[in-house]
Structure 1
Amino acid sequence: MVCEKCQKKLSKVIVPDKWKEGASNTTEGGGRKINENKLLSKKNRWTPYGNTKCIICKQQVHQDGKYCHTCAYSKGVCAMCGKQVLDTKFYKQSNV
C-alpha cells in the first residue's frame, strides 16, 4: 500500500524487448557484445530485490521503500515514504 504521491515512483513491470528494436539479445544497435566474458560483466547484473530492507522486520523490500508490504499494512503507512495512509485503530490484527 502506497500513498497517491508515491504511486508515480513505482517501478515498471519487466517486459521482454521487441525483436531487433533495441533488444539486448542482438548485436545490432549496441546490444550484446561479441565474445563477451560473462564472468567479468556479471557485476552489472540486475538484482530484482536490491539491497533495501524493511525498517521493522529487516525483510528485503522488492521496491525502493522503507517498509515491506506486511508491516506497511499492519501499521497503516505508505510503504515508500512512511506517511499515514490508513487508520488501523479498530482493526483486529495479530502479531504473527
Structure 2
Amino acid sequence: MVCEKCQKKLSKVIVPDKWKEGASNTNESGGRKINENKLLSKKRRWTPYGNTKCIICKQQVHQDGKYCHTCAYSKGVCAMCGKQVLDTKLYKQSNV
C-alpha cells in the first residue's frame, strides 16, 4: 500500500528492455558490451535482502520504506513514508 506521491519512487524490476530502438541492452546503440553481466557491472549492486527493516515487526522490507506490506495495510499507512492512507477503524482484522 503506497500513497500517490510515493508511487514514483518505487524501484524498477531488473529485466531487459523490450524494444530495440533506444534500448540499453543492445549492441547497436553502444549501450552493452558482449557477455557483460548487468548486475555485476553496475556501481550500486542490487541486493535482494536489503538493509531496511519494518519499524513494527522488524521484517526485512524489499522496497525502500518504513513498513512491510502487512503492517502498512493493518495500520492503513503508506509503506514508504508512513502517511495515513486508509481508515481502518471499522475493519475487522485478526492480526492487530
SS in 2 for 1:44: coil
Deviations 1:31-80 (A, max 9, x none): 99999999999996420231000000000000000000000000000000
What percent identity do the matched residue pairs reach? Answer: 96
1:66 alignment partner in structure 2: 66
Distance 1:69 1:3 in 2: 13
Q: Please report the TM-score for the alignment, with normalisation by the length of structure 2.
A: 0.70
Gaps of 5+ in 1: none
Distance 1:94 1:67 in 2: 18
Q: Please report the TM-score for the alignment, with normalisation by the length of structure 1.
A: 0.70
Distance 2:53 2:19 in 1: 36
**Preserved contact between residue 22 and residue 31 of structure 1 (Cα < 8 Å):** no
Gaps of 5+ in 2: none
Give the aligned CA root-mean-square deviation in angstroms: 3.5
1:76 alignment partner in structure 2: 76
Distance 1:73 1:42, change over 3 A: same
**Preserved contact between residue 25 and residue 32 of structure 1 (Cα < 8 Å):** yes
